[in-house]
Structure 1
Amino acid sequence: MSLRKPHELHQRRFGRNLGLALTLAGFIVIVFSLTVVKVSRGDFLLPTGEVQQ
């Protein structure tokens, strides 16, 4: 088991992966919050005249 210093390529790759992960997490938060707002406003309800029984 060697304790070598990580290569510079791995450090750059980690930085890129971290940036991508944060971007995707931000996108997920935006989509989730828009969904919660849309559902809580009642936009998914049918108008009262079109309710099927």
Structure 2
Amino acid sequence: MAITRDSEIHTRRFSRNAGLGVVLLGFVAIVFGLTVVKVERGNKLEGFDHQPRVSALPAEPTSAAPAKTEVAK
């Protein structure tokens, strides 16, 4: 027996599925957009290569005065 008329449950289920599909497509679009932006900014792209990142290292002091050392007597 073929169902020819959609019942209320079928209509609600379809609208829920369509809403979920729109949300998932939006999420995929956001992730894709962020990926494109990150790839286009290639100068800041740092891969995981077991080396310390320069951006994560503490800044070196830039003062012109030499560091004072104590002389042992």
Range of TM-score over shorter length: 0.7 to 0.9
String of CA shifts for 1:14-51, please: whole Å, max 9, x gaps. Answer: 000000000000000000000000110112257xxx8x
Supply the distance in 2 between the matched residues of 1:3 and 1:10 (Cα, whole angstroms).
11
Q: Size of the alignment, in residue pairs?
A: 47
Please list every run of at least 4 consecutive aligned residues from structure 1 whose deviation after the TM superposition is greater than 6 angstroms: none
Q: Give the root-mean-square deviation of aligned CA atoms.
A: 1.9
The gaps in structure 1 that reach 5 residues or longer are none
The share of aligned pairs that are identical, in percent, is: 51
Q: What is the identity, as a one-letter code, of the residue corresponding to 1:34?
A: L
- Spell out the pairing of 1:34-53 with structure 2 (5 A cutoff): 34-42=34-42, 43-45=44-46
Higher relative helix content: 1
Supply the distance in 1 between the matched residues of 2:35 and 2:20 (Cα, whole angstroms).
23
Structure 1 length as normaliser, TM-score? 0.74
Q: How many angstroms does 1:6 deviate by? A: 0.8
Tell which has more relative contact order, 1 or 2 (C-alpha 8 A, sep 6+). 1
The gaps in structure 2 that reach 5 residues or longer are 48-53, 55-73
Over alpha carbons, which structure has the higher Rg? 2
